[in-house]
Structure 1
Amino acid sequence: MDIQIGTTKKLVFVLLDIAGNEVTGLGSTFTVTYSKNGVAFVAGSGAKTEVGSGAYTYDQVADETDTQGPLLYEIIGAGTDVQRLLYEVVGYLSTPHLLGTIFATIQDIEAFLQIEITTPAQILSAQRALIEATAAIRNYTHQYLGRVDDDAITLDSKGWTRMFLPELPVIDVSAVVEDGETLTVDDDYKLGQYGVLHRIGQKWASGIQIITITYSHGYETIPDDIVAVCTRAASRGYQAGLRAADSAGVMGVASKQLGDFSVSFVSEAGGGVGEGVMGASAARMLLLSEKEMLDKYRM
């Protein structure tokens, strides 16, 4: 989420224990720390309150948002797991986008690479890699995949007896309006398999942007194979960032030597899966084997 530089927000979040249960009764005793642009965490000085049912708030102060770049918060209280909130401080407030469900976690990267990701810079790098891997999966499958409730879409119609809903899996259809007329489930339409919406007794009205459908779709729990692909893709991106940082952004560094300092370079033919002459940005988002795993979700 973007925050305009120099402005402040009231952060709202839920604190959970390691089992995923809401932790209540902390009042303002929980601890808030923040890191700007990957530097060391410092204690936040804003007001803290409990609003009930495990939900808490923290009021940002101006010196927390006075620098452009990533802003990471870590919140923890007695008996709670760490809650992390990531923002981007920008010079102007850009149009917000719905990031939604991220398909894997930092803990998944840690388990896959058998490492610990603990410093602010490492956490921010891993978060970015996860966001980019999730976006790559969505782009490849042409599907949002995460659960979305009451999503309203307006579609063109060719006047067939079937309408194909674009996001799968379809959980339910709550409303259908055809050319200004609200239809009744079972009498006028019925949801079939694979996101097919059938018109009963007649064909759908034909026209451009003529049918509005409100429906819920996506996975409440992301399937394991999607989590696995996201974890692997994000891990590659994270490791590519580490290699780039280790070589100060210089592309194709193969080895270094400290005494009588020397650096050797290696080139890589186009199409390789590493960095090569193209740098860390050439680390592939999705491998062929991963795309094959995702093909069953692709539309």
Structure 2
Amino acid sequence: MAVLPSLATVADLATLLGRTFTPEQEMQAQALLDQASSVVRAYVRQDITRATTTDVFPLRRADPLLHRCGGVVTLPQRPVVDVDTVLVDGAETADWWLDGAELLLRAWTWGQPPAAHRPPQVTVTYTHGYDTVPGDIQAIVVQAANRVIVNPSGIRSEAVGGESVTYLIPTTGEALGVLLSRTEQKVLDRYRRTAASLRVRGH
């Protein structure tokens, strides 16, 4: 799997701090931004940046009250920009359409026992994510990295505007790295994938 780019740049962090980094400081800043980006992606369960992915999903039977089709696949990475190819059990099909992040197959004959115990496997190659990282996500990544830079003394928490903000060093003195505040998590919740989606293989 390709390494995903940071969700903010060293220039963004330098602008926030109002300073110019030395080459060594640039390396540290990039490492912190990479870590903050990974923390954000892990929380929202999304790649966020624009990418093309091939995944394999088990086909779900459609709800007759919601969908008039043969089966449904929910694509986990959002937003879905485009779908390139769809294969069902290895056979390419064009008999599908998109409804948001759901790919619906117009018609499909479900197997009889014993094949019926294994749902058809749908291979989808699709483009997803944002061409430009949303500003609120970018700001959170920069803020999270900045807290590590401005908190060298190991302060664990302090009250900021009536909110308790947790920093990177716990009372045991063990460095944990970049963490998200509760306020930042609430902002990120609008991007977070909460529904379970089975991902069998990704490239």
TM-score, scaled relative to structure 1: 0.52
Contact 2:165 2:182 in 1 (8 A): no
Residues 1:103 and 2:13 aligned together: no
**Aligned match of 1:155 in 32, 45, 57?**
57
**Per-residue deviation, 1:181:** 1.6
Report if the CA contact (8 A) 1:169-1:217 is conserved: yes
Give aligned pairs, total: 174
> 1:295 is matched with which residue: 189, 192, 195?
189
Q: Percent identity?
A: 28
Task: Give the equivalent residue in structure 2 for 1:192.
Answer: 99
- Residue of structure 2 equivalent to 1:132: 35
Q: Distance in 1 between matches of 2:122 and 2:41?
A: 25
Aligned residues of 1:172 and 1:217 also touching (Cα < 8 A): yes
Q: Deviations for 1:127-169, whole angstroms, at most 9, x for unmatched residues?
A: 11000000001000000011112x1111122333321001011
- Aligned 8 A contact 1:237 1:285 in 2: no
Secondary structure in 2 matching 1:129: helix
Q: 1:169 is aligned with what amino acid?
A: P
Query: Gaps (5+ residues) in structure 1?
Result: 1-96, 245-250, 253-266
Paired residue type of 1:136: V
Give the distance between the partners of 1:162 and 1:226, measured in 2 at CA. Answer: 30
2:75 aligned to which of 129, 148, 165:
165
Query: 148, 152, 160: which one pairs with 1:237?
Result: 148
State the distance in 1 between where 2:102 and 2:119 align.
Answer: 19
SS of the equivalent of 2:171 reads helix
> Per chain length, whose mean CA-contact separation is higher, i.e. which structure has more relative contact order (CA < 8 Å, sep 6+)?
2
Matches of 2:157 and 2:131 in 1, distance apart? 41
Could you tell me which runs of 5 or more consecutive residues in structure 2 were left unpaired when the two chains were aligned: 63-70, 159-163, 194-203
Say which structure is richer in strand. 1
Instruction: Report the counterpart of residue 30 of structure 1 in structure 2.
Output: none
1:159-214 deviation per Cα after TM superposition (whole angstroms, max 9, x unaligned):
33321001011111110000122101xxx100111x11111144777635711011
Which structure has the bigger radius of gyration? Answer: 1
Tell whether the 8 Å contact from 2:59 to 2:72 is kept in structure 1 after alignment. Answer: no
The answer on whether the counterparts of 2:35 and 2:178 sit within 8 Å (CA) in structure 1 is: no
Considering only aligned residues, what root-mean-square deviation do their CA atoms show, in Å?
2.6
Q: C-alpha separation between the residues in 2 aligned to 1:290 and 1:268?
A: 15
